Structure 1
Amino acid sequence: MKNAEVKPLLPNEPRQLDWEKQSHLTSQFLRPVLGELERFLLALRATLDPQLSAEFPTKASKPYPLGQCLEISLAVKKRLEEISPGELQGDGAVAFNAIQQFSLNGGVIRQIWGDLRGQYFQNAFLFGDLYVDVSNDTVVATKPKVEILPFAQSNLSAIKDFYHFAQLAQLYWKAEVFPNHLMPELAPYVPLLVRYADGEIQMLDLSKYMIMLTTSAEFQPSYDFLSQAAMPKDVFDRVRNSLLDSGLLLPKCPEDGRKIALTNCQRCSEDDTYGSYDQIALVIERVLQVNAYLRLIDRAPSISHQETAEMH
């Protein structure tokens, strides 16, 4: 019997292509030095925290490090790429040498992102088959800054679709989520409009993972999410009015936006150029511009969302 075809990895997907090989290399090189590895990463956090807290003092009105798992993960990743073995000693030298030997022998270290325990979005790393979270204190600041455990015990799962993303956004961000029937040209790539608890509205999600999730599936995940009932007219009208001078072509009503968005998903699915890197880069640039306009909307009290059923 032939082995089942292994699906290509999406960017930051919490998965390895060859778990058996990575588990073997992890046992050989990393598990013998788990204590040193943890202390090394804690030392990195200690050197990076003053810089990061000065650069990102708050996020969503919360003080550093709350909500900043991405910023911390990226900073640690950058530091690991810059370190010279000669500048380390003690635990740092032992851990870094183990990481180098692990990598030289085919071990894979990946930055990953997903749904942690059904409670919130989280950025972390895979060191072989180890879950390595260098920003474990970004939801509860009193937690240990670093957590290392077998990936199978981490309960980090990949975001399955846009309904899954919406469910977690509602829970973690206390946000309202609507289908993007307002900007149907961009909706195949970013099919959600998210209204945060402070009133800010944004098109989401611009992560490489979520965009590739839909483009690699011929835009079916976006089509599925956009197929639900038209977004509430009061929300539609309020956001549309804020974008009248943006130069965008906007539908006259949510029902029209829904039809156009679904038609655009079908068109994109039939033409490979819509999934090209150049096209995706262009879309990301345009969405960033639109989101900049959306930030100008007055932050009115939250609008009750009665017309769309609770996600999952």
Structure 2
Amino acid sequence: MTPEQSAWFAETFTSLVTNVSRAVLGADRPVRLVLTAMVAEGHVLLEDAPGTGKTSLAKAISASVQGTHQRIQFTPDLLPSDVTGVTIWDQGTRTFQFHPGPVFTSVLLADEINRASPKTQSALLEVMEEGHVTVDRDTHPVGRPFVVIATQNPIEQAGTYRLPEAQLDRFLVRTSLGYPDRTATVEILAGNRDRTTALDAVVTTAGVVEMAELAQTVHVDGAVLDYVARLVEGTREDPQTALGASVRGGLALVRCARVTAAAAGRAYVIPDDVKDLAVPVLAHRLVLDPEADFLGATTTQVVERVLSATPPPVARA
């Protein structure tokens, strides 16, 4: 990545964060994490109570990149074909025609994903991992950029289906918007319209794809890779975990660190990039020991403890 490309990447990413934050007030850190996941070509799990601006976030991102936006309200009776699309016989042409589902979009908001049956939840796995869906043996790409923002209510669990670990591992980042502070709340209450309608596009979808490809060229030194490997191993060796982070978790951490470095105008990753992203990238991939869970331990505490116990590198490999 040339210095000119680094400067363009950093300027564009900052403009995206600023633009989206005009619609989602008081949530700069979560907005930055979601945009990092999009540029890293990953997906986001939002654990939030209703009314915290999740739909506004998805609409603001799609408006900022000149993309499209779709929302699926997951319910127990939702079918896989309601997500991916269905093939229907056309009497006029006497052929089967594919009718795309809502996954064919730039930003997909999967609202309350844990309320759908496991079979419907699994309909998202192929498109999240491969970027295409297969219906009646035919493969249909969804295009780039493509990001799934899945939400689940961490408080109300009645009538829900717990996401299996294999599915949680598919999400690049887990974060939470939370409630805004008082100043942002007053500003929200003073408005009388949807703030996303006033947003102008900052970059095209082709520009986002170019950013994703540039981020892959960011250099990661062997010492930083060793640091990531030690962090991942530390989550497995912690006495409070029954299942630690997988190799996919380490790969996800490196992908996000590359985007964070490029967003700072650097063509190389530093240990602070990894430390800043460890909790949102790794915590949701851990499974606690039942006794530790009973005593009130959290996966966030485990990752923070591993970070404290794992010294970062001080020299190149």
Instruction: Sort the TM-score into its range (normalised by shorter chain).
Output: under 0.3
Tell me the TM-score normalized by structure 1: 0.26
Which has the higher relative contact order, 1 or 2, with Cα contacts under 8 A spaced 6 or more apart?
2
- Radius of gyration: which is bigger? 1
Tell me the TM-score normalized by structure 2: 0.25
